[in-house]
Structure 1
Amino acid sequence: MPIFYGKAALIDYLKSIKTQNSTIGFVPTMGALHQGHLSLMQQSLAENDTTVVSIFVNPTQFNNPEDLLKYPRTLEADIEKIRGLNTDIVLYAPAVDDIYEGKVLSQAFDFDGLENQMEGKFRPGHFDGVGTIVKRLFEIVTPTNAYFGEKDFQQLQIVKKMVSKNKLKVNVIGCDIYRESNGLAMSSRNERLTEQERSDASIIFTTLNLAKEKFKTNSATDVTKWVEKSFDKNPSFDLEYFQIADETTLTPCLRKSDNKNYRAFIAVTINNIRLIDTISLN
């Protein structure tokens, strides 16, 4: 399996195998790989001639230094998981300096307001960090197609906006959320949960499904109040936000419209571990 720790060698390798009609699929990750990541890789393998996976814990998208410090780093285990899936996958696992070249700073982006909702409200500077690293990785890998999970739906919309505004030649593809048996959205952060916390966290997806049903006959405000009361009854969880929003603009739904697609977004913490999830309401 080709593994690169520096961008120069990776760029040279990709140039050597690229032809006029060949395609490169790209799956950017922060490691601690799970089946959700592997499903993105499988889709890329099915749709492209070459698949590149990056593993890089990006410091500029963490507004909480403790969260960055505790983020799981399991490179050797990740390599084995990728190798077990397909030994033709190309891995790029750079150090911080290979990406940022001594200046660990975010570029300032304008995402037309997408960055001001939900995650943007609670994680200042987060999406500038996301935009910075994804743009840099796209410039290094020059993918034809890039694959992102819909669990981070706001991030997916922001990456699409960044690609559009910067006129980058990459097709951004959103992929279905991969869930554990109890409905919990797979996340690298799940590794920090105890078995009991992991089990209890099934309440997140259960609540989203019930909210979806209630939204058929109730207003967004009423559904939001119901969700907030539900979590008030579960002291183990701290509800950071629940929001029903327009899928395209990510602005809150104030009044339902038949010609719009809506999505529910949620963020909760349990024992200082932050979990997010989302579900389409249409």
Structure 2
Amino acid sequence: MEIFKTKDALKAYLKPLKASGKIIALVPTMGALHNGHISLIKLAQENADIIICSIFVNPTQFTDPKDLEKYPRPIEHDLAMLENAGCNGVFMPDVTEMYPSDKTEHWHIDLGRAEFLLEGEFRKGHYQGVTQIVKKLFDAVEPNIAMFGQKDFQQVLMIKNMLTHFNLPIKIFTCPIIREDDGLAMSSRNIHLSASDRTHALVLNKSLQFVLDNYNNYSLTELQEKAKNFYNGIKDVELDYFVIANGDTLEPATSKNEKNQVALVAAKVGTTRLIDNMIIN
């Protein structure tokens, strides 16, 4: 497994591979890897010849500096996981490689109304930062395909909108959410959960599963209200939102006749903010 610190070194490695017709896949991450990330590597291996994983904790997508400071960075653990998974190359640039201090850079693109819904409402500017760094990674790798996890459902939609904005010929693969045995969605943030928080966090999956199991038994309004009731009285759990939305626009679903509906939830558990979702149809 090759490790690259600069865009030039990465491009030099990839150039002959692309010339020989190899299909290149990019798996962008911020590190603190878990089996959900490895599932992205495995999916990439089924659809490409060369797998490049990036590890970069991107400062422009953190709306809270404390969040950036405490983001886990277990790099030796991450590299061991990637090597065991059969990753071909890892791109680990410094911040100055991706954001040269001698250049003034302005980034703002039209991501559509969905940018300001759900996570966009709670984390102003977050998706501008996400699309900014993903565009930089796409420019560095120029992959044929890129892999993202369904857990960040809104993020995937924003990245697809960014691809359309720049007319980039990259195919996006979305990998299903990988869960722990008790149903908790795997996340790099889970490391911050205390033992009691870990137990309380199971309410996210339970409320989503309730909607999936009872979708035909109640109206959309009733389903959302009953799902929200799961959070009543749980110590140290604060619900930010629970919504059944149109998966293409993230606007609240108004009819069960709408295709591509998804239930999305965000809640603060202890001091850790978690998100989760479940595709309904």
TM-score normalised by the shorter chain: which range applies?
over 0.9
SS in 2 for 1:234: coil
What is the alpha-carbon distance in structure 2 between the residues aligned to residue 128 and residue 106 of structure 1? 11
Q: 1:45 to 1:269 in 2, by over 3 A?
A: same
CA RMSD between the two structures: 1.5
What is the alpha-carbon distance in structure 2 between the residues aligned to residue 281 and residue 157 of structure 1? 17
Deviations 1:138-189 (A, max 9, x none): 0100000100000001111111111112111110111111111111111100
SS in 2 for 1:231: coil
Deviations 1:33-66 (A, max 9, x none): 0000001001112211100000001111111111
SS in 2 for 1:120: helix
For 1:231-242, list aligned pairs within 5 A: 231-242=231-242
What is the alpha-carbon distance in structure 1 between the residues aligned to residue 65 and residue 53 of structure 2? 25
For 1:1-282, list aligned pairs within 5 A: 1-86=1-86, 88-102=87-101, 107-253=107-253, 255-282=254-281
After TM superposition, where is structure 1 displaced by more than 3 Å over at least 4 residues in a row?
Answer: 103-106
Q: Quote how far apart the aligned CAs of 1:17 are.
A: 2.4
Q: Quote how far apart the aligned CAs of 1:235 are.
A: 2.3
Q: TM-score, normalised by structure 1?
A: 0.95
SS in 2 for 1:232: coil
SS in 2 for 1:73: coil
Q: Quote how far apart the aligned CAs of 1:210 are.
A: 0.5
Larger deviation: 42-51 or 135-144? 42-51
Deviations 1:215-265 (A, max 9, x none): 323232222222222212212211011111101111112x21414221110
Question: Does the CA-based 8 Å contact 1:25-1:51 persist in structure 2?
Answer: yes
User: Across the two proteins, how many residue pairs are aligned to each other?
Assistant: 280
Q: Extract unaligned runs of 5+ from structure 2.
A: none
Q: TM-score, normalised by structure 2?
A: 0.95
Q: Quote how far apart the aligned CAs of 1:20 are.
A: 4.9
What is the alpha-carbon distance in structure 2 between the residues aligned to residue 152 and residue 140 of structure 1? 23
Amino acid at match of 2:95: V
What is the alpha-carbon distance in structure 1 between the residues aligned to residue 111 and residue 206 of structure 2? 32
Amino acid at match of 1:212: L
Q: Quote how far apart the aligned CAs of 1:104 are.
A: 8.4
Question: Does the CA-based 8 Å contact 2:150-2:175 persist in structure 1?
Answer: yes
What is the alpha-carbon distance in structure 2 between the residues aligned to residue 148 and residue 230 of structure 1? 29
Q: Quote how far apart the aligned CAs of 1:105 are.
A: 6.0
Q: 1:233 to 1:105 in 2, by over 3 A?
A: farther
What is the alpha-carbon distance in structure 2 between the residues aligned to residue 200 and residue 123 of structure 1? 23
SS in 2 for 1:224: helix
SS in 1 for 2:57: coil
Larger deviation: 167-176 or 100-109? 100-109
